[in-house]
Structure 1
Amino acid sequence: MATKSAASERAESFLETSGQFRLGALVTESSHPRSKGLSQSARASVADGLAILFDIDRDVVAAYEAWSRSPQPGRVAAAVLNSLRRGGRVFFTGCGATGRLSIQLDAIWRAFWQQYNGVGGERAAETWEDRTRSVMAGGDYALIKSVEGFEDLVSFGRKQIADLGVGPDDVVLAITEGGETSFVIGTAWQGLEAGARVFFVYNNPDEVLRAHVRRSRDVIDEPRIEKINLTTGPMAITGSTRMQATSIELAAMLTILEMVLRSLLGDESLAARGVAGAGAVPAEMREGLEAVQTALASHSLRSALAALVEAEEATYRSGARMSYLAGALGIDVLTDTTERSPTFCTPSFKKWDDERAADSWSFLFTPVAATADAWPALLRRSPQTIEWSDEDLERLLDPDTARRQSHVLREIGHSELMRFRIGLDGLASRPVRHGDGMTLVSSAADLHLVEPASATFAALMAGARAAGADTAMVAVGSAAEVERLQASAACRVADRVVALAVPGTRFLLDPLARVGVKMLLNALSTCTMVRLGRVLGNRMIWVVPSNLKLIDRSTRYIVDLAGVSYEQACHALFEVIEYVEPRRRAGQAYPAPVGVATMRLRHGINLEEAEARLLQELG
């Protein structure tokens, strides 16, 4: 009897045990009818491709409109406010895109208090700044690179939030785009058992989740957990919940935080700032989001952004690299650039001293000299990495899984995070070269970095241009702020400029700029990857199958593209996963597993031939 290969055994194990991770029935996993021809449209006209993406962002505005008119924003804000006044904390939990969102929300809250100079002064800031927590599956390391084994385990979610001491005075906002992420569900159950007030935030209809995903049904049917359903519909890129699902979650969570903040500051402080009370926030956000979406969809912005897409595409096609600069919007830019790797199978951020790994296509540099200081400046707190022991793993997992996961843990600690040199010291190991690209993403808070010519970002942009790099600037803010940014020394050395003017309202946390720049960057990176052949129709065929949900999604893609059964597609996928695994673990470039499996099944060829055929067809 022939011995089964490791790939065959892994495929059969998945098919036997992963029924609850077959998620094709979920709305977030379905194809959006308005983007079915995205790859063809974007290849013919970048501006037309962008129009499709921004048109689907209207689904976010429509869903927010309905949610914001309900009693729920006020009810959730009141629960958070009561918790804080009792001395409690607010936990944002998530995985993947929502994990990065949890870190972003924590940083936005802390940034406000670190710069606060209003009523109560330093005492008020000290009281409120350290009252939020982010719980990202895999810790802060996962902000840069997805961490294997965390998303699929309820026990890991339980442990991570328990390690932070969640208790009865706290609020937990458990955020999962699809409503089915095991890690996030684990944080919700742990919070509930600890006596915290728990809210479950998700983007699929209750009836669909209840019918198809038991772990989701258990949460939805638990009366002590309040549900915040933010369903917008299918994603612009099938299954890519980093887009519309996370956009509306960002808008909704910032609405709640803005309401809480205005209540904490009180009438005297708000009057001094010319800011309305907490109750005005949902209506202000509704009006503002409509204006942001209109600005993004405008011909002028799409034309400017299309030029940036074409420039970035040309950079990658020539084998050159992109460097992004960001200050106040650093975490926003980092989120989009790091999400490109699992979504489109591009090389992930490279550690400065890793000689084996492929060069990252893009990288972020912040205006802080040393990386050891740049990370706390970006996060607005000390980094929080996972430092579990082997004994911890043995208490949570079976022996074989614990041994495998132990290797993962050694790669995601604090010292490993510091090897991603996002400070200015990182430029020594990744200098800007002729043919590279440099894009600065700036807001009004960065004016001191872009003017005068000797300012940090202005000097870096001028140096990049002198080295023969293509330079660009994205300016975000009110019309007056954008005008000042466009008049800066940094802008004068930019080959192209994209200006996004958001309504000049008096928000305290600048939510419109954060949602607007997210949508803009999502469209930039997505359209660039579409142009590079990483999307077929509206399917991200280069997705990295790094967890059970993505293995299922990849398998379904192969079924559609190769016309085979789910079982055949799954076996073919695991063969390719095994084939590319050495390159993936070394951080080297490797082909799309979905694409290679599809070529192998379509043409009856071996893996090496399938890889060559895929690259040939993609040009």
Structure 2
Amino acid sequence: MSESSDARAREFLAIADQFQLGVLVTESSHPVTANLSEVAKRSTAEALGLLFQVDRDVLDGYRRFVESGRALGLSERVARSVAGGGKVFFTGCGSTGRLSILLDAMWRSFWRSVGRADYEDRTFSVMAGGDFALIKAVEGFEDFTQFGRRQIADLGVGPGDMAFAITEGGETSFVIGTAWQALEAGADTVFVYNNPDEVLCAHVRRSREVIEEPRIEKLNLTTGPMAISGSTRMQATTIQLAVLSTVLEMAVRRLLGKPFEGVPQRFLAGLERVLDTLSSEDVRGPLAELVEMEEGIYRAGGRVNYLADCLGIDVLTDTTERSPTFCTPPYRRYDDLQAAESWSFLYVPEPHSPQAWRHILQREPRCVAWSDDDIRAMLPPDKAERTIAIVRRIGVDDLMRFRIGIDGLPDRPYRPGDGAVGIFGALDRGDFQTSQLSLAKIKGAKVAGIAVGDVDPPTEPLMVHVPVPDADLLLHGLARCAAKMALNAMSTCTMVRLGRVMGNTMVWVVPSNLKLIDRSTRYIARLTGLGYEQACRLLFEVIEYIEPRMKADQKYPPAVGLAVYRHRFGLSNEEAEERLRADIGGF
């Protein structure tokens, strides 16, 4: 063990009690999917059925929310804030950060469509690390409350505003920082989370302090364990999307003077029908074919281009979340030819990437642009210099290097063995996806599509149609939930079939923040029999070995798997990597 890896392990272990989260419900194993990896080997459609069965926990949780009647009060406060000239903030990190951007985009898109610029610019998303983090988590941002405080303060939160601080687990330091800053600035503050109060209060001090603060309203949306242990991008974020889009829908209707009282009941009935549809053989059959198509492409070293328009932010979210969850190469900057090629990438029908990003976000991009002095004022010297270097690489110019417009298509031309997947939505503006699928076929790529809602997609041999009932929703929240659950299940099942999940445990998790370091340590301990401290020290040895490749976005072995092989077979890092590669067929 090197001195540096030992020092980093000791530093983590000194604060590990704040991040040992194995007791949380969201980190536990769901009994329905306990044998998911084995089921997926024999039947992809059956495995998809298990994933959609767990999504029924979302339906049950949403029903409880409807029965509570809380949507009425929350939506009234949102509408009052906006009508009074205030702002509405959605804050989050990782999956909830992407959710905050989606909610912001839904609001802005609607008001732009009806020509109400006065209401359009009233919502603000605050994602840890700024909009750049849509693509890739920004190292360290999740772990510091002061960063959350600063990012929401930079947007001018104050009296008359409303803030929804959204954290899947209820323990994210960044999000907790935004909640405290909003409260102290005089904003109406709501803390949204997915673990039982008694568990959080007993084990996580920072969570207990928020939960016990009477001036912060608590919105507990616990549904149970995730379909993949700890993968809160799934059910935890889905119920948050359903609930908060309901609140916004009702607020919009209040501002327009339209009836709003029946929205939660219509949404509930629609969500139940969507889940019935997703669970049906008519959807699971073709979706299983799509899973197996992608699996085959990736196994053969191919790549998949996703093509979307109105559901672009939804597709971007699902494809970028695959990297930290399953250790796939993240999106690659167009001019970084040293990085590993991304397995999947999104394109939208805008000629140039700056326009494409505005289309995705429904506003100008907002990236973190702190000065060196700003950062030094928030952090001790050893952490400040590291963060300064990071912030210099996450600005708007850096975001534009991810070319998701039509100008980026030449970077990933269709080749025989590649794939193209069109995602169709009811508010699409033209035939971009259809024309690209036709071109891909000519070039020898495999093609498929997913159509969500009332759309008439092209007739392709492989087209998954997910009807969405007409619930008379101005913000189309039900369609967003349907798209999310379909995409989550498809991408998760693909990775399960690729061997990146054991049972329902994400053994390829990337230890990129303190919570994920704890999760990786726990998995190593479980698979090796080592104690927590020994497993942690082994993990940091492995991190030191793979970190240069991680930072360069190059291919690297999974940290958990490498650590397990090192211990199990008494190997060096290099020897363990070679054996792991031989056993699983590459990274």
| TM-score of the two chains, using structure 2 as the length reference | 0.99
Deviations 1:25-44 (CA, angstroms, capped at 9, x unpaired): 10001111111100000111
Q: What displacement does 1:617 show?
A: 2.6
Pick one of 14, 26, 38 that aligns with 1:40: 38
Q: What displacement does 1:18 show?
A: 2.3
Distance, in Å, in 2 between the alignment partners of 1:59 and 1:131 is: 32
Q: What displacement does 1:4 show?
A: 5.0
Distance, in Å, in 2 between the alignment partners of 1:346 and 1:38 is: 20
Instruction: Find the residue that maps to 1:378 and give its secondary structure.
Output: helix
Residue 449 of structure 1 is matched in structure 2 by 430
The 5-angstrom pairing of residues 44-83 of structure 1 reads 44-83=42-81
Kept in 1: contact 2:158–2:182 (CA 8 A): yes
| Aligned alpha-carbon RMSD (Å) | 1.0
Instruction: Find the residue that maps to 2:408 and give its secondary structure.
Output: helix
Distance, in Å, in 2 between the alignment partners of 1:51 and 1:126 is: 43
Number of residue pairs aligned between Structure 1 and Structure 2: 585
1:239 aligns with 2:230: yes
Q: What displacement does 1:585 show?
A: 1.3
Q: What displacement does 1:616 show?
A: 2.6
Kept in 2: contact 1:434–1:468 (CA 8 A): yes
Distance, in Å, in 1 between the alignment partners of 2:426 and 2:308 is: 12
The one-letter amino acid of 1:251's match is: A
Identity %: 57
Residue 29 of structure 1 is matched in structure 2 by 27
Pick one of 82, 85, 110 that aligns with 2:83: 85
Distance, in Å, in 1 between the alignment partners of 2:551 and 2:192 is: 33
Instruction: Find the residue that maps to 1:474 and give its secondary structure.
Output: strand
Residue 165 of structure 1 is matched in structure 2 by 156
The 5-angstrom pairing of residues 217-256 of structure 1 reads 217-256=208-247
Pick one of 335, 340, 346 that aligns with 1:364: 346
Distance, in Å, in 2 between the alignment partners of 1:81 and 1:515 is: 23
The one-letter amino acid of 2:292's match is: E
List, as ranges, runs of 4+ consecutive aligned residues in structure 1 with deviation greater than 6 Å. none
The one-letter amino acid of 1:340's match is: R
Q: What displacement does 1:127 show?
A: 1.6
Residue 111 of structure 2 is matched in structure 1 by 113
Kept in 2: contact 1:203–1:245 (CA 8 A): yes
The one-letter amino acid of 1:209's match is: L
Kept in 1: contact 2:328–2:343 (CA 8 A): yes
Kept in 2: contact 1:201–1:230 (CA 8 A): yes
Q: What displacement does 1:421 show?
A: 0.1
The one-letter amino acid of 1:158's match is: R
Instruction: Find the residue that maps to 1:523 and give its secondary structure.
Output: helix
Instruction: Find the residue that maps to 2:578 and give its secondary structure.
Output: helix
Instruction: Find the residue that maps to 1:325 and give its secondary structure.
Output: strand
Deviations 1:80-102 (CA, angstroms, capped at 9, x unpaired): 11111111010000000000000
Kept in 2: contact 1:158–1:190 (CA 8 A): yes
Deviations 1:144-165 (CA, angstroms, capped at 9, x unpaired): 1110010000000000000000
Residue 145 of structure 1 is matched in structure 2 by 136
Residue 20 of structure 1 is matched in structure 2 by 18
1:600 aligns with 2:563: no
Kept in 1: contact 2:424–2:433 (CA 8 A): no
Q: What displacement does 1:569 show?
A: 0.8
The one-letter amino acid of 1:252's match is: V
Kept in 2: contact 1:439–1:474 (CA 8 A): yes
Residue 258 of structure 1 is matched in structure 2 by 249
Distance, in Å, in 1 between the alignment partners of 2:504 and 2:574 is: 27
1:421 aligns with 2:403: yes
Deviations 1:164-201 (CA, angstroms, capped at 9, x unpaired): 00000100000000000000000000000000000000
Q: What displacement does 1:12 show?
A: 1.4
Distance, in Å, in 2 between the alignment partners of 1:381 and 1:65 is: 33
Distance, in Å, in 2 between the alignment partners of 1:233 and 1:415 is: 40
1:353 aligns with 2:344: no
Pick one of 377, 381, 385 that aligns with 2:363: 381
The one-letter amino acid of 1:166's match is: V
Q: What displacement does 1:9 show?
A: 1.3
Distance, in Å, in 2 between the alignment partners of 1:295 and 1:618 is: 35
Pick one of 384, 399, 408 that aligns with 2:381: 399
Kept in 2: contact 1:69–1:282 (CA 8 A): no
The one-letter amino acid of 1:10's match is: R
The one-letter amino acid of 1:146's match is: A
Distance, in Å, in 1 between the alignment partners of 2:25 and 2:394 is: 33
Q: What displacement does 1:473 show?
A: 1.1
Pick one of 435, 441, 465 that aligns with 1:465: 441
Residue 531 of structure 2 is matched in structure 1 by 565
Instruction: Find the residue that maps to 1:359 and give its secondary structure.
Output: coil
Distance, in Å, in 1 between the alignment partners of 2:553 and 2:425 is: 33
Distance, in Å, in 2 between the alignment partners of 1:335 and 1:114 is: 23
Residue 192 of structure 2 is matched in structure 1 by 201
Deviations 1:242-276 (CA, angstroms, capped at 9, x unpaired): 00000000000000000001111114xxxxxxxxx
More moved, 528-537 vs 605-614: 605-614
Distance, in Å, in 1 between the alignment partners of 2:426 and 2:201 is: 45
Kept in 2: contact 1:174–1:184 (CA 8 A): yes
Residue 271 of structure 1 is matched in structure 2 by none
Pick one of 577, 584, 587 that aligns with 1:618: 584
Kept in 2: contact 1:56–1:236 (CA 8 A): yes
Distance, in Å, in 1 between the alignment partners of 2:34 and 2:525 is: 17
Q: What displacement does 1:19 show?
A: 1.1
Q: What displacement does 1:543 show?
A: 0.6
Deviations 1:14-61 (CA, angstroms, capped at 9, x unpaired): 111221100011000111111110000011110011011000000000
The one-letter amino acid of 1:241's match is: T
Q: What displacement does 1:613 show?
A: 2.1
Pick one of 527, 544, 547 that aligns with 2:493: 527
Deviations 1:50-74 (CA, angstroms, capped at 9, x unpaired): 0110000000000110111102111
1:517 aligns with 2:483: yes
Kept in 1: contact 2:423–2:433 (CA 8 A): no
Residue 201 of structure 2 is matched in structure 1 by 210
1:128 aligns with 2:114: no
1:579 aligns with 2:545: yes
Instruction: Find the residue that maps to 1:544 and give its secondary structure.
Output: coil
Instruction: Find the residue that maps to 2:257 and give its secondary structure.
Output: helix
Instruction: Find the residue that maps to 2:91 and give its secondary structure.
Output: strand
Consecutive unaligned residues of structure 1, counting only runs of 5 or more, are 117-121, 268-276, 451-455, 486-490
The one-letter amino acid of 1:335's match is: T
Instruction: Find the residue that maps to 1:18 and give its secondary structure.
Output: helix
More moved, 604-613 vs 238-247: 604-613
Distance, in Å, in 2 between the alignment partners of 1:132 and 1:465 is: 41
Instruction: Find the residue that maps to 1:442 and give its secondary structure.
Output: strand
Kept in 1: contact 2:267–2:471 (CA 8 A): no
Residue 317 of structure 2 is matched in structure 1 by 335
Deviations 1:79-130 (CA, angstroms, capped at 9, x unpaired): 11111111101000000000000000000000111111xxxxx3xx022100
